[in-house]
Amino acid sequence: MKDFAGRIAVVTGGRHGEWGGELVRQLVAQGCNVATCDVFAEAVAETKRFCEAGRLPQGLRITTHIADVSDEAQVQRFRDDVAAQQETDKIHLLFNNAGIGGGGSMIASSREEWEKTFNVCWGGVYHCTRAFLPMLQRADEGHIVNTSSVNGFWASIGPRIPHTAYSAAKFAVKGFTEALITDLRLNAPHIKCSCGRHARPHRNFYPIQLPQDP
């Protein structure tokens, strides 16, 4: 997909000052309608204000939503709100970007902390893909972008620092994306899928090249 003008994108984790907020800004600058969510209302509202400070194409829609992507019911409500506020039954782009750190150790961290990290970083990708896939299927073409991490390739941030929840989740995101490429090719060929990674501390975003089916 090369032309974003007039398309509709969903971006999770769209708070201002982070990669998600910058992604929203870049999409809007190219004429894309955007629905973005976060758990912090003011942070995602600031993203919208920042975008609206520029010159927007007439009729372009930026909608903000509150949702914890680890909670499937909230994700489904987010999807329904997107459909209502964007006045559409389809979307063209889904950026599964939301994520958190924490829950580093299976031993030293609490189960609640560990599972919260895993459920946001992996569960959010799963819930949002499930929820928004029918809307992607209704579009003429679509693309899913899942945010993994360098820790989806290398399960360590140092020999003395446990990092199991985040690494396990980001490995799951990468593996899911790689498998989904084939699934989509066979069952919904007009939808593509790719994976990216954050590179801390600068939080730049790099595409991950995954193997393609012949």
- Residues that are catalytic: 166
- b/e map of 42-62 (b: 16 or more CB within 10 Å)? ebbebbbebbeeeeeeeeeeb
Which amino acid, one-letter code, is at 15?
R
> What is the DSSP track for 77-104?
HHHHHHHHHTT-S--SEEEE--------
d(CA 194, CA 169): 16
The upper half-sphere exposure of residue 28, i.e. CA atoms within 13 Å in the direction of its Cβ, equals: 27
